[in-house]
Amino acid sequence: MSELQNVFSWSHSASKDFETCRRMRYWDKYAKWGGWSRSATQLQKDAYRLGKMDTRHNLQGQAAEQAAMWILRRAQRGETPDPEEAWEKVAKPWLRQHWDQSLKQEWKADPKKCCLHEHYYPQFAQGTDKDRIVSVAENVKTCLRNFVTVFLPRFAAIGPEDEIPVAVIGSGGDPESFTFEGVKIYAIPDYVHVQDGIWHIHDWKSGRPRDEHHDQLAIYALWAVEKHGVTPDKIKVLLEYLATGETLAADMTPGRLDEIREHIRGSVLDMAEYLVDADISKNRALPKSEWELTTDRHACARCKFFELCAPELAEELVEE
C-alpha cells in the first residue's frame, strides 16, 4: 500500500482557522499528520487526537441534520413524519451515544470516538453538563418541529431521483471536493436537488445567522460550476435556519463567483507563505515557530489545540 501524502487542500473552515490563528492551521494540517500511526511521535498523536475534538454546537447541528433527513426520507415514501419520533429514534440516541463517549473518555482508546471541548477543557465551559444537555435537546427538538411545519412542504415534489449525491465525511471515501486552479477544494453541501432545471443547494443551520454563511454557500455554488458544469443562472443557494424557521435564498451571479474565486486565490497565497519555498505542490510546513499565535486569547479558549500551546502561552504571561 502506498504511503498517504499530505496534499495541500483548502476549505472554508480551514480558511477560517488560518485567519483566526496561524498556529491552529499548523497543528491541524501538519503537526497531526501521521498521528494515527504506531510509529508517530507523541506530539503527532496528541495533535491528531485533539484535531478530532468537537463541540456541543457541532453535535447539535449534526443531530438535527440527520433527523431532518430521516424525516424527509419518510415523507418521500408517503408517510407522515413526526418530529417527536425523529427525536426519539434518530437524534436522541445519536446524541446520547456521542455524549457518553466523551464523558467516559472513550477517545483515550480510540481517537475517533467523540471528545467534546466542553468536557476536555471544563475551565472554559459555561454552566453545568446537565444544562448543556437540556439546551441541546430543546434546540434540536425546535429544529425538527420547524423542519416538519415550515420546510418540509417545500420538498413535497422532490424525490430521490431529483437529488445530487454529495460525499460526506465518514461515508468511507474522500469527502466532496473539486479542483480549482490545481488546488483541491473541499465543499460539502448538506442537500442538493434539481427542480425545473435549477440546482437548489441547501445548508441546514441549527444556530443563529452569521455573515460567513453566505461565503460558505457561494463556495458550494462554485463546486456546482467547477465540478458539474452548471451555469450560475441555474443555481439557487439557500440557508435554512432550522431553529427559527427562516430561509435566506439567493441566486448566484458570475460576479459573486468571481469574488469567491479571488477569495480562495488570496487565501491560498497567504497559506503558501508558511510553506518551504512557498511551494504548495510539496506542502512542507515551515517550523512551528514561524506559525504565529493569535493575539486573541478568547480564541485560544475556544481552540481544540489549547493544550499544545498552553506552555508557550504561560511563558508569555510570565514575561508580561
Asked if 164 and 122 sit in the same domain, the reply is: no
Asked if 209 and 125 sit in the same domain, the reply is: no
Residue-level pLDDT at 320: 45
pTM summary value:
0.92
Of the residues 219, 238, 263, which one is the last residue of a structural domain?
Answer: 263
Residue-level pLDDT at 318: 45
> Does residue 2 lie in a domain region?
no
Asked if 149 and 206 sit in the same domain, the reply is: no
Residue-level pLDDT at 42: 97
Q: Which residues contact 289 (CB under 8 A, 6 or more apart)?
A: none
> Does residue 217 lie in a domain region?
yes
Asked if 122 and 217 sit in the same domain, the reply is: no
Residue-level pLDDT at 315: 66
Please say if the pLDDT value at position 184 is more than 50.
yes
> Does residue 137 lie in a domain region?
yes
Asked if 122 and 165 sit in the same domain, the reply is: no
> Does residue 27 lie in a domain region?
no
> Does residue 62 lie in a domain region?
yes
Asked if 149 and 204 sit in the same domain, the reply is: no
Of the residues 99, 124, 155, which one is the last residue of a structural domain?
Answer: 155
Residue-level pLDDT at 2: 58
Exposed / middle / buried, residue 34 (Cβ in 10 Å: 0-12, 13-18, 19+): middle
Asked if 68 and 84 sit in the same domain, the reply is: yes
For the four alpha carbons of 78, 84, 89 and 93, in that order, the dihedral sign comes to: positive
Task: For the chain, give the mean pLDDT.
Answer: 94
Asked if 77 and 139 sit in the same domain, the reply is: yes
> Does residue 17 lie in a domain region?
no
The range of the structural domain enclosing residue 64 comes to: 52-155
- Across residues 107-112, what is the average pLDDT? 96
> Does residue 24 lie in a domain region?
no
> Does residue 180 lie in a domain region?
no
Please say if the pLDDT value at position 316 is more than 90.
no
Please say if the pLDDT value at position 134 is more than 90.
yes
- Across residues 103-118, what is the average pLDDT? 97
Asked if 224 and 238 sit in the same domain, the reply is: yes
Number of domains in the chain: 2
Asked if 66 and 149 sit in the same domain, the reply is: yes
Place of cell 446520547: 96
- Across residues 97-116, what is the average pLDDT? 97
Asked if 56 and 142 sit in the same domain, the reply is: yes
